Amino acid sequence: MYNRILKINLPAKQSAFLWGARKTGKSTYLKTHFPNSIYYDLLKSDLYFNLSKQPSIFREEILALTNKQTIKNPIIIDEVQKIPLLLDEIHWLIENTEVQFILCGSSARKLRQGGVNLLGGRAWGYTFYPLVYPEINDFNLLKIFNHGAIPSHYTYSNPNKSLKAYVQDYLKLEIQSEGLVRNLPAFAKFLDSISFSNGEMVNYTNIARDCGIDAKTVKEYYQILIDTLLGYYILPFNKRVNRDIILSTPKFYLFDVGVANHIAQNSIQTLQGATAGKSLEHYILLELLAYRGINDLDFTVDYWRTKTGLEIDFVLSTHNEILAAIEIKISSKIHQTDLKALITFAEEHQVKLLYLVSLEPRARKVKLNNQKTDILILPYQDFLKKLWSAELI
C-alpha cells in the first residue's frame, strides 16, 4: 500500500544487511523490490531447524544453484540473526562465488555479543524505518500520535489490539525468547516506566527503584532497545561551552510515537497540551533520524539545555559546523518568549539555520539583531516537506 523510499542499489558482488524493527515492512519491501530473488525465511520452523542443525546445507544449496545458472538477483535471508553460524557460510560464498546477499533482521545484537562473523565490511548496512512523511498519502498528525507509523497500525481504523499485541508479543515475549532478557516481569515494568519518561532526560536510579532492579540492569535494558532498533539515545550538545549546560545525561525516545503513547495509555484527541507537544517533538525527531539514515548522512542530532531551564529540542551538527537548531512548539501562535532559547543559542554558537516548528498556518521569518541567522517559524508540514526535499539540510 505504501511506496517506500529506501533504495537498495547494489553493484556486482556487493551484499548488504537490512536491519529494522519488526513489522516496519522489511519483508514486504524485499519481496516487492526483488521479486525474482531466492528467499530464505528463517521464521519457517522446518527451514530453521534444518539449517540450525547443519548450516553447511545452505552453502551446498547455493553452490548447486550457481553451477546451473548465473545468479542475477541477490539471495535474501530473512531473520538472519536466528542462525548466527550461517554467516560463516555466507562469508565463504561471498569470497568464492559471484553471489550477492541481502541479510535481513531485527537486531545484530545477538550476533555481535556472540562474537559472530559480521562479514568484515563485505556487506553494506541499511536501516528500515516505520513509515515516513513522504510515504503517507493520507497523512494525519493525530493518527500518527495515536496509531503510530508502523504500516499495519497506521492503516487500521482501531489499532489498539495491534498495538497491544505488538507490545505484549514482541517487546516483551520475543525479546525474552531471543535470550536478551531473563527477568521478564522486570523488563515489563521497565517498559511501562520509560513510557512516562519518553523524551525526557534519563534517570537510571529512579527507573531502577520503580522496577526493583539495579541501575546497571536498567542501562542494559535501554541498550537492548537501542540494539533492536526500538529506541534512540539523544545526547546533550556541549560544543564550546559558555554557560552551565547539561553535559552528560541522555534523553531516550522509543522508535514509534504510537507505541510510546500506547504504553503510556495516552489518547490524544486534539493538537493541544503537553502530551500532544511531546508527541510532536517525538515525531519530528523520528523524521530527522529516518531522513539521516535513508540518505546516509553523517550529522548528529543532540539536544541543548542549560541548568537554568533554557532548552532547544534538537541541534544538528557535524564535526565542523552546526547545521541547524530546531525548537518544537505545539502552538498556533508563537510569541517572542518562545524564541528565547533559539536566540540565546545563536548568541553563543555559529549556527547556519534556526527553526521553530509549530502549528502556525503560514511560515514567517524573525530577524535577529546583530545575528547573521534569522529564525524561520514553519508549520510542521512545511518543515517536513522541506526536510524530505533536501531544502533544510
- Give residue 168's pLDDT band: very low, low, confident or very high (50, 70, 90): confident
203-230: per-residue pLDDT in tens?
A: 999 999 999 999 999 999 999 889 888 9
> Residue 286: inside a domain, yes or no?
yes
DSSP helix/strand/coil, 280: helix
- What is the number of domains present in the chain? 2
End position of a domain, from candidates 96, 128, 160 = 128
Do 195 and 73 sit in the same domain of this protein?
no
Do 278 and 378 sit in the same domain of this protein?
yes
Do 240 and 274 sit in the same domain of this protein?
yes
Do 292 and 248 sit in the same domain of this protein?
yes
C-alpha span between 359 and 247 (Å, rounded): 31
Residues 6+ apart with CB under 8 A from 324: 314, 315, 316, 351, 352, 353, 354, 355, 392, 393
Do 38 and 186 sit in the same domain of this protein?
no
End position of a domain, from candidates 85, 103, 128 = 128
CATH number of the domain residue 53 falls in: 3.40.50.300
**Cell triple for residue 226?**
537501542
> Residue 4: inside a domain, yes or no?
no
Report the Cα 385 to chain-centroid distance in Å: 19
End position of a domain, from candidates 74, 94, 128 = 128
Other beta carbons within 10 Å of 288? 19
331-363: per-residue pLDDT in tens?
A: 999 999 999 999 999 988 999 999 999 999 999
Report the Cα 248 to chain-centroid distance in Å: 22
Range of the domain at 231: 134-388
175-184, long-range: CB < 8 A, 24+ apart: 175/224, 175/228, 178/81, 178/107, 178/110, 179/110, 180/109, 180/110, 180/224, 180/228, 181/221, 181/224, 183/213, 183/217
* Intra-chain end-to-end CA distance of the chain, in Å: 29
The model's pTM: 0.93
> Residue 3: inside a domain, yes or no?
no
What average pLDDT does the structure give for the chain?
A: 90
Strands 251-254 and 375-379, by their bridges, are: unpaired
Report the Cα 134 to chain-centroid distance in Å: 16
Total residue length of the chain: 393
What percent of the chain has pLDDT above 90? 67
